[in-house]
Structure 1
Amino acid sequence: MKPIQTDWQHLRFGVEIEFVGGTPERLERLPGWTMSLDERQTDDSGEESGSELKPPPLQWKDREQIRVMLARLQAQKAIANWSCGLHVHVSLEPWGKEAILQLIEAALRYQEAVKQLLQTSADRLIYCPPVTRELLERYQSDPTEAALCHKGRPQSHRCGINLAAWFWNKTVEIRYANGSLDYNEVINTVEFCLRFVAAIGTGRKLPCDPQAMASELGAPISGYPRPLPAPRWYRERMWLEEAFVPVLAPLASSLVQGGEILHIRPDADGILVVIEDAKGKPHPYRLQLPSTGWDATRLRSNDHSIV
């Protein structure tokens, strides 16, 4: 990729704001802002709650829109809890697809520092697996979206520095930040991501120490969303899920060709298992274990209470 000097304040960006509580279907939105009502989070009782709020493509000069929308969420008593994340998309339009290889290499070098700077909660790491050298080699031989997706567990196919986003909206997505509805924390995260991508696009070499990296970039050294511990019941659910995955993986691949388990949940009528196919489409099943082995019942994929 040819290095291109770009003012980070001129890069377009988006931010996915996850929250619980509130009444998202009734939130008054600024023009172009959208609410993904099918993107639900988990409240402290284990119930699905909240949603994910997203702006249209913005520039730094438009950031006041974020303050307005966060205030409206807070007025509805919405909060960001331990289940929420803050995902920043930064446009790669100045560089084009040629930026992907350089950003993969940058991820291999800096992703640990980015994770430490943004203080990613241990309970959220399953949603932002690392970029690997295997992914780099796979993309070098097959420069497609599929090559950029994490394979197998953790359950998310989108890496912490997610280059597959190029094929969706010409961006790179940085997923490491914890959730927040605090304007300063959100905007500090956006600023870091913009400065980081702009620096990689110019070919700069950065320190691998988190604070030194932020200082070199001119980004905030602190003031990012704090990690919040998940409740004990959630951690126990995840321990149980991890124990079930190797047991149910052969069944999942027989039910959905090329399928991988997205998540496993206990249910009054059995065990709910959601399997992602090769294209990322979820296929929910309810499993029961009679004496003869597993019985699997296909469920409606549009029932968001189970996916």
Structure 2
Amino acid sequence: MWPRRIKWNELRFGVEIEFIGGRPSELELLPGWVMALDELQIDDGGEESGSELQTPPLAWADRDQLRVMLARLREQGARMNWSCGLHVHVGIEPWGEALALPLVDAALASQDALRALMTTSKERLVYCPPVTEEMRDAYRRSPCREALCRKGRPQSHRCGINAAAWYDNGTVEIRYANGSLNEDEILRVVELCLRFTAAVGEGRELPASPRELAAALDAAPDGYPPPIPVPRWYRERIWLEDALLPAVDELVQRLVPGGELHHALPVEDGILIAIEGGGGLLSYVLKPPADGWQIVRQVVASPPSSR
């Protein structure tokens, strides 16, 4: 039922905490917590590292669990870099599917302000693209999960305000926050997401200015995880991916119909491209001869990352 007033601190939430380093497989977990060992990040040297720590559904009164688990992560030597993000899921069961369209409307009105409040790193925007008017029109015509997703790359079907998560796990996922292992920063993000969702559920019109949005939500205007400088080699890798996309898109569709280029990077015997589709990542090493792309070999498949 929508609209309906629910106090922000009565909503349940979950957090996905990406990190590098540490010893993820050895971390002692509180009941219900999950270490997604297949969710690897990129360390400062370009190697796969770390993991993603996932909370169970928590009440605001349970937030000290975050402090306990973050302390354990830091004690292991886990740390944060530019490749890590922070995703918050807010349970929207009190409103159900009826909240999906209001969330889209709220995103169109204030997603830029929410993103600005969280100072989202420019390099992370590909993982949290904006909701569009076309998505709203599609959802009004046919209310379904697919209408709330968008094509792009990589994993850009998950918008910064991801209402499609209702169909996956009964939540809205807000993906704008930069990575952090600081409990105060993370709790500020969680509180902002809870307050934003409760305001949408109440049917409030939200402003388009970051400061005005924070004031309307009675949320902190600053103190969120700051962006971390990205090394030049990684920016060059992204430029390579962007430049390659038009050249390899036809081949990507032939190899994995409906797939999207997830990442590309040079390897010893060519250029490795990883394609997201079919429930995982399929990787191939290619060589670009003058008359077309040559497939050198297929790499063993790996599960997708949710950066």
Partner of 2:49: 49
Please tell me whether the aligned partners of residues 145 and 164 of structure 1 are also in contact (alpha carbons under 8 angstroms).
yes
- Normalization by structure 1: what TM-score? 0.95
Partner of 1:176: 176
Distance 2:205 2:143 in 1: 24
Partner of 2:163: 163
Deviations 1:6-40 (A, max 9, x none): 01111010000010010111011101000001101
User: Kindly tell me: are residues 193 and 224 of structure 1, through their superposed partners in 2, closer, same or farther at Cα, counting changes over 3 Å?
Assistant: same
Q: Which amino acid is 1:288 matched to?
A: K
> How far is 1:259 from its partner?
2.0
Distance 2:267 2:32 in 1: 38
**Which one scores higher on RCO, CA 8 angstroms, separation ≥ 6?**
2
> How far is 1:184 from its partner?
0.3
Indicate yes or no: 2:67 matched with 1:72: no
Indicate yes or no: 2:208 matched with 1:195: no
Matched residues, number: 305
> How far is 1:220 from its partner?
1.2
* Structure 2: runs of 5+ lacking an equivalent: none
Q: Which amino acid is 1:35 matched to?
A: M
Partner of 1:252: 252
Secondary structure in 1 matching 2:300: coil
Secondary structure in 2 matching 1:73: helix
Partner of 1:36: 36
Please tell me whether the aligned partners of residues 129 and 154 of structure 1 are also in contact (alpha carbons under 8 angstroms).
no
Partner of 2:286: 287
Please tell me whether the aligned partners of residues 109 and 207 of structure 2 are also in contact (alpha carbons under 8 angstroms).
no
* Structure 1: runs of 5+ lacking an equivalent: none
Partner of 1:114: 114
Q: CA RMSD in A?
A: 1.8
> How far is 1:287 from its partner?
1.3
Deviations 1:110-153 (A, max 9, x none): 10000000000111111111111111112222222222112124
Distance 2:95 2:213 in 1: 22
Distance 2:266 2:156 in 1: 20
> How far is 1:269 from its partner?
2.0
Distance 2:291 2:212 in 1: 59
Partner of 1:133: 133
Please tell me whether the aligned partners of residues 154 and 260 of structure 2 are also in contact (alpha carbons under 8 angstroms).
no
Distance 1:266 1:147 in 2: 35
Partner of 2:94: 94
Partner of 1:236: 236
Identity among equivalent positions (%) equals 57
Partner of 2:186: 186
Distance 1:266 1:157 in 2: 26
Distance 2:188 2:27 in 1: 24
- Normalization by structure 2: what TM-score? 0.95
Bigger mean CA offset, 212-221 vs 113-122: 212-221
Distance 2:242 2:176 in 1: 22
> How far is 1:290 from its partner?
4.2
Please tell me whether the aligned partners of residues 82 and 227 of structure 2 are also in contact (alpha carbons under 8 angstroms).
yes
Secondary structure in 2 matching 1:201: helix
Distance 1:44 1:125 in 2: 20
Partner of 2:300: 300
Secondary structure in 2 matching 1:283: strand
Distance 1:62 1:285 in 2: 44
Which structure 1 residue ranges, 4+ long, deviate > 4 Å from structure 2? none
Please tell me whether the aligned partners of residues 279 and 304 of structure 2 are also in contact (alpha carbons under 8 angstroms).
no
Q: Which amino acid is 1:45 matched to?
A: G
Deviations 1:220-261 (A, max 9, x none): 111100011210000011111100000000111111112221
Distance 1:75 1:244 in 2: 41
Secondary structure in 2 matching 1:46: coil
Partner of 2:222: 222
Bigger mean CA offset, 212-221 vs 100-109: 212-221
User: Kindly tell me: are residues 96 and 70 of structure 1, through their superposed partners in 2, closer, same or farther at Cα, counting changes over 3 Å?
Assistant: same
